[in-house]
A and B are shown apart, each in its own frame.
Chain A
Amino acid sequence: MNIVVCVKYVPDAQADRTFNASDNTTDRENVDGLLSELDEYAVEAALKIVEAGEGEVTVLTVGPDQAADAIKKALQMGAHKGVHVKDDAIHGSDAPATSLVLAEAIKKLTADSPADLVITGMASTDGTMGVVPAMLAERLGLPAVTYAAELTVDGGTATIRRDGDVSTQTIEATLPALVSVTDQINEPRYPSFKGIMAAKKKPVEQWSLADLGLDAAQVGLDASWTKVDSFAARPPRAQGTIVTDEGDGGEKLAAFLAERKFI
């Protein structure tokens, strides 16, 4: 079983995330980044499947130079090889443009060795759109089962459990298929010392747009189908009233709610 896992390099949510004032794009240079936490679940899901049988896990990222860190972390966890698509022209790509690059990279990867599964996270921790998996499935013509809280692969079928609002569903798709996983699916492993050493010798390919047969005019800020006009930091909330409970905290709370007309 060969699996491609899409991993995104994102600015750390614990840092002060912001935008570039020059073109309203996300600041990915001056804010520390890392492998999107939610993609660790995708890597773990892929490793579990391959370890239970055979095959290889390839991690794929589209991002700037530093995005190599995201690949490194996934290789340390146990993935077998990495592909890093980077090209200055990709800067500022929106979701449709990003999915185009990812889709072409997956086509190139699987032309040499077909993949049975493409696994992604449920959403990135920066854009948080949760749309790239569906866009990829659409572009690649793959069946998609998304938001997997459980994943089993048996014979030629992927089966997932999805925890929806009105019901819990079991959903099936015939391989090859795309699966997106939630943070309910597993407990991602920490890289072991052995894993960290081994990762140093694992192959990472670097591809440019030209390697994918794409033209700079098809991606990036100018080719994007959406445009950010402005951004503004949310004004800090006014300091609220904080009381310490001295036996009447609940009453004070109720009085506040009454004053604000919630009662």
Chain B
Amino acid sequence: MAEVLVLVDHVDGKVRKTTSELLTIARRLGEPSAVFIGSGFDAAKETLAKFGAAKVYRVESPDVLGHLIAPQAELLAQLVGSASPAAVLIPSNAEGKEIAARLAIKTESGLITDAVDVKPREGGGVATTQSVFAGSYTVEATITKGTPIVTVKPNSAAPEEAPAAAADEVVDFAPSEAAKSARITESKEKQATGRPELTEAAIVVSGGRGTSGDFAPVEALADSLGAAVGASRAAVDAGWYPHTSQVGQTGKQVSPQLYVACGISGAIQHRAGMQTSKTIVAVNKDNEAPIFELVDFGVVGDLFKVLPQATEAIKAAKG
């Protein structure tokens, strides 16, 4: 069976949920081989094995880590050359898409980004599904040249366990001088919030301009549900919440089981980031807010009254 390369998304060996999703998808296309760049492999190995990585290509070189995208693309191109995989699956985040972009040019291969589903195609190759134009269209597409490269959005598959060896193979790799031409000179770690990561959370509770800068009720509701907290651009631009929590076209695209929009009007750019959520709930004091066109359940009311009451009821129900 042909190998399918999966680029592992991890922080110091802590593997993100998207990687288990990608490994699950990879098994539909062939035999998953994980590609692990950086330190912490020992911590990662168990998860990679659990979700079906037969092999793990491993590179620890600091040369790769200090230099962003280009070296990672070179490494993948080298592996595409040596392993002739049936496909390469990469997480659909900013960095992943850039790695995929360079890899596509290097290997003269077609690229599909932001896939929400990937399947084997009758007659060979892969078939993908994308949700486009702010979620208003679904597109089926295929890759017709080279090694199919697909970046896959979080929450596109339910991770399924399928124990495998995760036998590691250290790859002999040295990035070219050209690939090292952009360098990270400083890196300030962000403080962890203790909440789930926005793009992989099952539930997201977001606040907008309607919070008037007070996110406490939004955070309390999120915590009662074990949810991640998101924000509209208006809230981010006002400095009320960090940009990395922004949901929408120029923020994160989320697709959770449940999305709760609080004091958010539902502009097209916001919808672009949340419209594919399975269940949508909104609290807004304006009954004509466009967000209500999307909801499964909406409350017309003041979020400062509705959210605390809901939070209490949820806590009570959970006991």
Residues of A that sit less than 8 Å from B by CB: 13-14, 17-19, 38, 94-96, 99, 122-123, 125-126, 128-135, 137-139, 141, 143-147, 149, 159, 163-174, 177, 182-184, 224-234, 237-238, 240-245, 248-258, 260, 262-263
Contacts and interface: CB of A to CB of B under 8 A. Distances in A.
A242 B295 contact: yes
Interface string B97-112: 1111110111011111
Pairs A-B, 8 closest by C-beta atoms: A250-B309, A245-B301, A225-B110, A254-B313, A143-B181, A131-B101, A250-B310, A134-B101
Nearest to B146: A225
Contact of B109 (A14, A225, A233, A262): A225
A186 B264 CA distance: 23
Given A96-B105, A168-B187, A241-B296, A129 B137 contact: no
A137 B179 CA distance: 11
Contacts of B309: 248-251, 253-254
B98 A95 contact: no
A122 B93 CA distance: 13
B118 to A, nearest CB: 13
20 contacts: A13-B133, A99-B105, A130-B98, A134-B99, A135-B101, A143-B181, A144-B182, A163-B244, A182-B250, A227-B141, A234-B138, A242-B298, A243-B297, A249-B305, A250-B307, A250-B309, A250-B310, A251-B309, A255-B313, A257-B281
Most buried by A among B100, B182, B268: B182
A249 B301 contact: yes
Given A130-B94, A130-B97, A229 B182 contact: no
Given A19-B137, A231-B139, A241-B297, 15 more contacts: A128-B132, A134-B69, A137-B102, A138-B73, A141-B178, A173-B183, A229-B142, A231-B132, A231-B137, A242-B287, A250-B312, A253-B309, A254-B314, A260-B296, A263-B314
A83 B35 CA distance: 41
B283 interface: yes
Contacts of B138: 231-232, 234
Interface residues of B, number: 92
A194 B112 CA distance: 43
Given A184-B243, A253-B306, A171 B142 contact: no
A245 B146 contact: no
Most buried by B among A95, A132, A260, A262: A262
Given A96-B111, A226-B111, A240-B297, A245 B181 contact: no
B48 interface: no
A226 B297 contact: no
B273 to A, nearest CB: 11
B216 interface: no
Contact of A169 (B102, B186, B287, B313): B186
Contacts of B306: 245, 249-250, 253
A253 B272 CA distance: 24
Given A129-B114, A244-B301, A172 B183 contact: yes
A223 to B, nearest CB: 9
A125 B310 CA distance: 36
A17 B133 contact: yes
B101 A95 contact: yes
A6 to B, nearest CB: 14
B145 interface: yes
Contacts of B281: 253, 256-257
B189 A234 contact: no
B137 A13 contact: no
B142 A226 contact: yes
Given A131-B111, A167-B189, A228 B182 contact: no
Contacts of B97: 129-131, 134
Given A166-B189, A230-B139, A250-B309, A171 B299 contact: no
Nearest to B227: A262
Contacts of A131: 97-98, 100-101, 104, 111, 113
Contacts of B106: 138
Nearest to B16: A165
B110 A96 contact: yes
Interface string B144-165: 1110000000000000000000
